[in-house]
Amino acid sequence: VNNDDVKLIGAWASPYVMRPRVALNIKSVDYEFLQEQFGSKSELLLKSNPVHKKIPVLLHNGKPICESSIIVEYIDEVWSSSPSILPSDPHNRALARFWAAYLDEKWFPNVRAAPRAATEEAKSAAEVAVEMEGAYGETSRGGDFFGGDKIGVVDIAFGSMLGSARAIQVRVGVKLLDEEKTPGLVKWAEKFSADPAVKDVLPETEKLVEFAKLLSAKFKAAAAS
Ligand code: GSH
């Protein structure tokens, strides 16, 4: 689709990195995936995101764009002729941004903390899920996705954490999406995971579980030395 030079600095296991990867897939944009090695930061990353030094960073014709949600919106604006990711109606657009921001603020931190501080944190992640079940009912308007009949910005923001949520369920037995409390989201998660724009970039649960074990072993070794 594009003659532009598009590179993405990231890592396969990172939920934040999954966001721009799904967005680029929706737009059928080819890109080079530059993977960071765990535990070290490349010169290119440090130069491209000197403020946060975090992945993902999109390099579009050499110009860096940082922060996953901002990158997703940028991709939607630049490749505007392909399926849109943000709703065109201003009110729906504001609503979608509201839920994407809510997920960043409440869902990500609680999911990430769930394995360490099992009960309290997992409870708040589960409460956020119930809130999202309501949002799904309101914004999907009978479609499969938060964006209606196609994947939108809220699907991308929420869905990028599915791998981690599943890995946590395997590792510590905490179920963040469940049939009883969030039946809509269970169905949504299946549809999202199977979508052509998603299925190749959503990490397999077993691989994430292995990766998490490796990380915690490294942390323990570092703490003991
Ligand atoms: N708010 C950022 C975004 O949405 O892009 C968060 C990105 C983020 O936390 N990235 C992690 C990272 O680069 C990887 S999942 N961590 C390395 C570090 O914190 O030094």
CA distance 136 to 153: 13
CA-69 nearest atom, ligand 1: 4
Share of the chain above pLDDT 70, in %: 95
45 vs 65: CA distance, rounded Å? 11
Which residue CA neighbors atom 13 of ligand 1 most closely? 54
Of the given ranges (50-64, 105-119, 129-143), which has the lowest mean pLDDT? 105-119
Domain span(s) for CATH 3.40.30.10 in the chain: 6-78
Ligand 1 atom showing the smallest separation from residue 17 Cα: 15
CA of 186 to the centre of ligand 1 (A): 26
Q: Which atom of ligand 1 is nearest to the CA of 13?
A: 15
Provide the pLDDT for residue 64. Answer: 98
Instruction: Name the residue at shortest CA distance from atom 9 of ligand 1.
Output: 54
The residues, ordered by sequence, that sit 6+ positions from 94 with a Cβ below 8 Å of its Cβ are none
**Lateral strand order in the sheet of 32-35:** 32-35, 6-10, 57-60, 63-66
Mean pLDDT of the region 57-80: 98
Distance 142 CA to ligand 1 centre (A): 34
Question: Ligand 1: residues whose CB is within 6 Å?
Answer: 14, 16, 53-56, 67-69
The residues pairing with 32 across neighbouring beta strands, listed in sequence order, are 7
CATH architecture assigned to 6-78: 3-Layer(aba) Sandwich (3.40)
Query: Which residue of 18, 44, 55 sits with most ligand 1 atoms within 8 Å of its CB, as the best mutation to test the pocket?
Result: 55
Query: For the segment 187-209, what is each residue's pLDDT rounded down to a tens digit?
Result: 999 999 999 999 999 999 999 99
Identify whether the C-beta of residue 45 lies closer than 8 Å to the C-beta of residue 34.
no
* Best mutation site among 52, 156, 161 for ligand 1 pocket (most ligand atoms within 8 Å of CB): 52
10: CA distance to ligand 1 center in Å?
Answer: 9
Angle at 213 between CA 197 and CA 102, to 5 degrees: 50
Which range, of 5-19, 98-112, 200-214, averages the lowest pLDDT?
98-112
What average pLDDT does this structure show over 63-73?
Answer: 98
Q: Separation of 179 CA from ligand 1 center, angstroms?
A: 31
pLDDT greater than 60 at residue 90: yes
Closest residue by Cα to atom 12, ligand 1, is 54
Q: Is 3.90.550.10 the CATH number for 90-206?
A: no
- Kindly give the number of the ligand 1 atom that is closest to the alpha carbon of 55: 13
Within the chain, all domains assigned CATH 1.20.1050.10 are found at 90-206
- Residue owning the nearest CA to atom 18 of ligand 1: 54
Model confidence pLDDT, tens digit, residues 114-161: 776 656 666 688 889 999 999 999 999 999 999 999 999 999 999 999
